[in-house]
């Protein structure tokens, strides 16, 4: 009997993922409504539950893809992979009201510039405080604080060692997860309640995964506006990282 269930589940990984995620969201919505009296959005609990499950998966398998590394849940990797994430983000554009987006296009750009430079400065500062002094290491860790893709791409371009690149990726992953968890918590503080604010948030908070999950957990209707800007974040960071930012770090730290 157990074998039969196991075989069925293993042969339809994506369908299993649909059913499983549906169950997670069902439970999360129930908890949101009844355990927190509607104060915490069901989707915020669902994202947290996803992260907790990823921790369980990683702890069991010792691999990098969370719950998806367990064979029965491998469909989650496809369902939650970059392709489906980007495909559904594009679909949310059908809800964008053009007048709203136009109002803040220039603001989005300013946010994008700040969202690239500020994390870099913080990352470089922390690495410096921990005794790193060469420009390559500082730049690689600093760009990791922008997103976990900008870090390794910059590191590879300027010849950083693999342990520094690993540290840079870890920095970006930690940041993405912090953004996912704390965006709904600090939404009121950030005045994250209108389309233009979401665009500013998308540019400054960076990392598509962090922004998309954070906004989903805050207010689903803000997602397309934040995503519209955030999707430029990685490309912009990869443009500045090995060039302007590296040269800047080199000028300051030799």
Partner 1 sequence: MVILGTALLAACYLAGIAVGEGIALLIGVKANVGGVGIAMMLLIACLHVLQKRGIYAPDMEKGVTFWAAMYIPVVVAMASTQNVIVAVRSGPIALISAAGSFAVCMLFISLINRVIERAHIASAPLAADSK
Residue 239 binds partner 1 (CB under 8 A): yes
State how far the Cα of 51 lies from the Cα of 176, in Å rounded to an integer.
11
User: In 3-state terms, what secondary structure has residue 17?
Assistant: helix
State how far the Cα of 175 lies from the Cα of 85, in Å rounded to an integer.
18
- Position among 33, 72, 196, 253 found at the interface with partner 1 (CB under 8 A): 196
Q: Pick the stretch among 5-13, 199-207, 246-254 that binds partner 1 (CB under 8 A).
A: 199-207
Sign of torsion over alpha carbons 60, 65, 69, 72: positive
- Position among 47, 158, 160, 245 found at the interface with partner 1 (CB under 8 A): 47
Q: Pick the stretch among 4-12, 97-105, 246-254 that binds partner 1 (CB under 8 A).
A: 97-105
- Position among 9, 13, 32, 127 found at the interface with partner 1 (CB under 8 A): 127
Sign of torsion over alpha carbons 34, 40, 43, 44: negative
Specify the residue, 5 or 14, whose C-beta has the smaller distance to partner 1.
14
Residue 226 binds partner 1 (CB under 8 A): no
Specify the residue, 1 or 37, whose C-beta has the smaller distance to partner 1.
37
State how far the Cα of 35 lies from the Cα of 149, in Å rounded to an integer.
37
State how far the Cα of 197 lies from the Cα of 188, in Å rounded to an integer.
11
Q: Pick the stretch among 2-10, 126-134, 246-254 that binds partner 1 (CB under 8 A).
A: 126-134
Residues that bind partner 1 (rule: CB under 8 A) add up to a total of 121
Residue 100 binds partner 1 (CB under 8 A): yes
CA 143 from centroid of its chain's CA atoms: 15
For 104, 113, 228, 234, the CA distances from 194, given in Å and listed in that order, are: 11, 21, 14, 24
Residue 143 binds partner 1 (CB under 8 A): no
- Position among 27, 31, 72, 231 found at the interface with partner 1 (CB under 8 A): 231
State how far the Cα of 24 lies from the Cα of 16, in Å rounded to an integer.
12
- Position among 126, 134, 250, 253 found at the interface with partner 1 (CB under 8 A): 126
Residue 27 binds partner 1 (CB under 8 A): no
Specify the residue, 4 or 201, whose C-beta has the smaller distance to partner 1.
201
Nearest Cα residue to 218 out of 244, 236, 197, 233 = 197
């Amino acid at each position: 009997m157990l074998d039969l269930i196991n075989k069925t589940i293993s042969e339809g990984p994506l369908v299993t993922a649909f059913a499983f995620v549906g169950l997670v969201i069902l439970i999360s919505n129930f908890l949101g409504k009844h355990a927190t009296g509607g104060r915490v959005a069901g989707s915020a609990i669902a994202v947290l539950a996803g992260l907790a499950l990823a921790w369980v998966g990683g702890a069991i398998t010792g691999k990098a893809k969370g719950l998806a590394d367990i064979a029965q849940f491998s469909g989650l990797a496809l369902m939650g992979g970059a392709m489906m994430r980007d495909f559904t983000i594009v679909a949310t554009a059908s809800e964008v009201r053009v007048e709203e987006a136009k109002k803040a296009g220039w603001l989005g750009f300013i946010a994008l510039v700040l969202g690239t430079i500020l994390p870099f400065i913080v990352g470089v500062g922390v690495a410096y405080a921990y005794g790193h002094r060469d420009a390559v290491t500082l730049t690689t860790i600093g760009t990791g604080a922008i997103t976990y893709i900008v870090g390794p791409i910059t590191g590879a371009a300027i010849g950083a060692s693999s342990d520094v690149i690993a540290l840079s990726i870890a920095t970006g992953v930690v940041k993405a997860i912090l953004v996912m968890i704390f965006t709904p918590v600090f939404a009121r503080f950030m005045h994250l309640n209108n389309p233009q604010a979401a665009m500013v948030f998308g540019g400054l908070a960076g990392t598509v995964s962090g922004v998309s999950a954070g906004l989903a957990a805050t207010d689903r209707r803000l997602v397309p506006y934040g995503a519209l800007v955030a999707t430029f974040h990685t490309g912009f960071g990869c443009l500045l990282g090995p060039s302007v930012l590296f040269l800047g770090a080199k000028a300051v730290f030799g």
